Amino acid sequence: MIRHLLSAGDLSLDDATLVLDTAEEMARLTEGRSVKKLPTLRGRTVVNLFFEDSTRTRTSFELAAKRLSADVVNFSAKGSSLSKGESLKDTALTLEAMGADGVVVRHSASGAPYRLATSGWINACVLNAGDGTHEHPTQALLDAFTMRRHLGELSGKRIVIVGDVLHSRVARSNVALLATLGAKVTLVAPPTLLPTGVERWPCDVSYDLDAALSGADAVMMLRVQRERMNAAFFPSAREYSRRYGLDSRRQALMPAEALVLHPGPMNRGMEITAEVADSDRSVIVEQVTNGVYVRMAVLYLMLAGTTEEAA
Amino acid sequence: MTPNATILIRAARVLGGEPRDLLIDDGVIVALGAGARAADAARTATVVDADGLIALPGLVDLHTHLREPGREDAETVETGTLAAARGGFTAVHAMANTDPVADTAGVVEQVWRLGREAGHADVRPVGAVTVGLRGERLAELGAMADSAAGVRVFSDDGVCVSDAMLMRRALEYVKAFDGVIAQHAQEPRLTEGAQMNEGELSGRLGLQGWPNVAEEAIVARDVLLAEHVGSQVHICHLSTRGSVEIVRLAKQRGLPVTAEVTPHHLLLTDELVATYDPRYKVNPPLRSAADVAALREALADGTIDIVATDHAPHPVEAKDCEWDVAAFGMLGLETALSVVQHTMVDTGLLDWSGVAERMSYAPARIGRCDTGELAHGRPLAEGEPANIVLVDPSVSATVDPSASASLSRNTPYEGMKLPGAVVATFLRGRPTHVTGGLL
């Protein structure tokens, strides 16, 4: 298993499968039990280092670490060296001095977890909990876990990812992981919201959502900020919804058993209608539950093997 | 050594040619070749054994950030010109983006005077084109030209003079005193929040792209403006293949345009950004390998006139952070000649006389400092000022940031092995840099 989890692309097929299988085990050990706690990481310290607000991701990591009996410290460092706050380096040195074993980091700057892991400031394992518009590997893992539970092995499965790919760390991590798992990914977005060079990513690209939906095993809707229209990425929220939003008409174009995913938080009425989000094919709430299992698996696999340092 | 001493440089390969002697007296080259030794018989010269060394005219940098006044924690005129001397430069053009901005006669005279006091290299201040680099109205270009600093190069470097009308007026106005506008070509709207070269890698890394077209759009506009008003424009740190093509076409049409390339754009590519290490963060950004190849070819064929360092010192904390908030820029003075040897000479693209043209004669001409008492970029010939660099092309060394004369350490070449060493630099006959044992 890799030492740091910075990018979903760092995971080999064996690594990714191990995480998903371990998450399945975590689910089996805690689902439906009154005592949801395992002693696995007793005595280890996990720091949730959040430079950006994200209650859902932080809570998910916190719950995962606590279910493994780790000591959890939430370190909310709003504002990086950009504002008046402490620099990333000084924060890292502080955590190192406190003896953190694992650092879960969320940062608005792409590459900040990479800097933490490679700059020599800390020895702890670094888990990327979302960095800028770069990656969000545990989100991709929980998405894969959720889809695998419904669809079986993902090799050959057709996954459609729709929306603001340009600014989406979720999309980048999903493309990388799903390619490793052998799924066939199609990205759908207006040309303005696709990154330069996307044609060389291991996926297909389309501007036509209706066409992409037929034959999909799952469709993943990405959050789109209304404010993007101010930078001319699209003319209006209404036009975006008409061309790239998932409504009941479009859902009817999908095979009957196809799943609907969304990493949250949703803009109901923008990229997805309430009817679709709340439909029986939506697994959006399940994704949240599964996030805890996947994060338990990742924390366990990365931290459990390093006991000699803590002794 | 005392200033104005008599020095005999023995057996230096002038511009890489056959070994010849040079006799320097009172800051001037008084004799060359066989005559030098004969003339020396009558004097008591200090002898410099330059066997195996190449003699070049003192290098001239058209693009240096000395940071003083305002950011003396990053660099001072003293340390910056010391780094220049170590790199073989006898003259540097100090960019205007200081604090306060060099947009008045007072500030440019201050920088010029600090250079005279330091004495390691002649400092030629560059004046800002617009007040405060704000791109709103012209700075007092004439006052800076008429000042003791004698400013001839004007630039808002760091920001582009993006307003077409303002750029037109600036190009026209400086004709009155033979000035030149040096443009930092960057279309601002196309580069809002830009962090690195726009390409597949920027998409993958999630860093906002700085597209080639943002440079090329301004280069194209400005060569047309220069043609329209009959004035010369100089393009700073040209970085893309498309810009090369525009400048090549403009020169074929006889338009008055000159261009520079930095050493780092001749050697490094955007692949380095995959480390998220801000040492590689620079503006314009490191480009693709195809751009690098085009830049080398353009420098070889003269489409790009000169190498200019864009030496940009930053304190440690400005680079010891996440990429987004790190400062743009990298050191360049001490490594420039080595990088040029590595990328241009050792590859056979340029010979040493070509290096002299690109790093001494041409930048002095563009900077309007090739004539007069303090002339630079002059041939190594009798009666010319003794601005001389001695280079050992046969050695190579690993770049060690802590050995730099600069106050800053932000070199992108740390740990790289580069060829060539500047053994000595003479400014009007006075050694401003000598490595151990030569004198």
User: pLDDT digits over B10-52, tens only?
Assistant: 999 999 999 999 999 999 999 998 777 767 666 678 899 999 9
At B40 the pLDDT is: 65
> Are residue A110 and residue A36 in the same domain, yes or no?
yes
> Are residue A105 and residue A246 in the same domain, yes or no?
no
d(CA A81, CA A76): 14
At B200 the pLDDT is: 96
ipTM: 0.92
Q: Does residue B318 carry a pLDDT above 90?
A: yes
**Under DSSP, is residue B151 helix (H, G, I), strand (E, B) or coil?**
coil
Among the listed residues B25, B40, B305, B310, the single catalytic one is: B310
> Are residue A141 and residue A281 in the same domain, yes or no?
yes
Taking the alpha carbons of A204, A207, A212, A217 in that order, is the dihedral positive or negative? Answer: positive
Range of the structural domain that residue A160 is part of: 137-288
> Are residue A63 and residue A203 in the same domain, yes or no?
no
> Are residue A269 and residue A300 in the same domain, yes or no?
no
Q: Name beta bridge partners: A58.
A: none
Closest CA to A48 of A136, A127, A139, A119: A127
- The residue written with tokens 């012209």 in the block is B138
In whole numbers, what is the pLDDT of chain B averaged over residues?
96
Contact, B186 vs B218, CB < 8 A?
yes
d(CA A189, CA A184): 17
d(CA B439, CA B430): 12
In a domain, A1, yes or no: no
At A230 the pLDDT is: 82
User: How far away is chain B from the Cα of A28, in angstroms, using its nearest Cα?
Assistant: 36
Non-local CB neighbours of A206 within 8 Å, separated by 6+ positions: A186, A187, A188, A212
Closest by Cβ to A110, choosing from B199, B206, B321: B206
Closest by Cβ to A115, choosing from B202, B207, B322: B322
User: How far away is chain B from the Cα of A310, in angstroms, using its nearest Cα?
Assistant: 28
Q: How far apart are the first and last CA of chain A?
A: 21
Beta-carbon separation of A89 and B321 below 8 A: yes
Query: How many residues would you count in chain B?
Result: 439
Residue type, A180: T
Q: What values do phi and psi take at B395, rounded to 5? A: -100, 165
**Number of domains, chain A:** 2
Beta-carbon separation of B205 and A110 below 8 A: yes
> Are residue A202 and residue A127 in the same domain, yes or no?
no
Residue ranges per domain, chain B?
A: 7-55+382-434, 58-366
d(CA B106, CA A253): 72
d(CA B194, CA B191): 5
d(CA B305, CA B364): 11
At A81 the pLDDT is: 45
In a domain, A2, yes or no: no
Q: How far apart are the first and last CA of chain B?
A: 8
Beta-carbon separation of A195 and B202 below 8 A: yes
- Per-residue pLDDT, averaged over B289-300, amounts to 98
> Are residue A108 and residue A147 in the same domain, yes or no?
no
Closest by Cβ to B321, choosing from A81, A118, A197: A81
Closest by Cβ to B199, choosing from A107, A197, A201: A197
Closest by Cβ to A80, choosing from B201, B207, B325: B325
- Per-residue pLDDT, averaged over B194-217, amounts to 98
> Are residue A39 and residue A129 in the same domain, yes or no?
yes
Q: Does residue B91 carry a pLDDT above 70?
A: yes
Q: Which positions in chain A touch B277 (Cβ < 8 Å)?
A: 115
User: How far away is chain A from the Cα of B236, in angstroms, using its nearest Cα?
Assistant: 26
Q: Domain holding A40: CATH number? A: 3.40.50.1370
Residues of chain A with pLDDT under 70: 78-85, 306-311
d(CA B67, CA B99): 8
Q: Which chain A residue has the Cα nearest residue B202?
A: A196
Region class of A264: left (phi > 0), else alpha (psi between -120 and 50), else beta:
left
Q: Which tokens go with B294? A: 């085009």
At B45 the pLDDT is: 80
Question: Which has more pLDDT, B421 or A90?
Answer: B421
Q: Which chain A residue has the Cα nearest residue B206?
A: A134
For chains A and B, count residue pairs whose Cβ atoms are closer than 8 Å.
82
- Per-residue pLDDT, averaged over B371-389, amounts to 96
- Per-residue pLDDT, averaged over B353-379, amounts to 97
In a domain, A255, yes or no: yes
- The residue written with tokens 């990053």 in the block is B74
Q: Which chain B residue has the Cα nearest residue A114?
A: B276
Evaluate whether the domain defined by B7-55+382-434 bears CATH number 2.120.10.30. Answer: no
Q: Could you count the other beta carbons within 10 Å of the beta carbon of residue A79?
A: 12
- Per-residue pLDDT, averaged over B228-243, amounts to 97
- Per-residue pLDDT, averaged over B228-247, amounts to 98
pLDDT tens, B112-137? 999 999 999 999 999 999 999 999 99
At B42 the pLDDT is: 62
Beta-carbon separation of B322 and A118 below 8 A: no
> Are residue A240 and residue A303 in the same domain, yes or no?
no
Percentage of chain B exceeding pLDDT 90: 95
At B436 the pLDDT is: 75
In a domain, A3, yes or no: no
Evaluate whether the domain defined by B58-366 bears CATH number 3.20.20.140. Answer: yes
Question: Which has more pLDDT, B4 or A130?
Answer: A130
Q: Which chain B residue has the Cα nearest residue A108?
A: B324
> Are residue A294 and residue A284 in the same domain, yes or no?
no
Secondary structure (DSSP) of B383-412: TSB--EEEEEEEEEEE--GGG-SSS----T
Q: Tell me chain B's radius of gyration from C-alpha atoms.
A: 21
> Are residue A129 and residue A144 in the same domain, yes or no?
no
At A85 the pLDDT is: 62
Q: What values do phi and psi take at B318, rounded to 5? A: -75, -10
Active site residue B346: no
At B197 the pLDDT is: 98
Q: Is the peptide bond preceding residue B313 cis, with omega within 30 degrees of 0?
A: no
At A79 the pLDDT is: 53
Beta-carbon separation of A111 and B206 below 8 A: yes
In a domain, A157, yes or no: yes
Element at A186 (helix H, strand E): strand A184-188
At B3 the pLDDT is: 46
Interface test with B, best of A52, A114, A200 (most B CBs within 10 A): A114
H-only helix segments in A31-87: 55-67
Q: Which tokens go with B296? A: 């080398």
- Per-residue pLDDT, averaged over B224-248, amounts to 97
- Per-residue pLDDT, averaged over B361-365, amounts to 98
> Are residue A33 and residue A12 in the same domain, yes or no?
yes
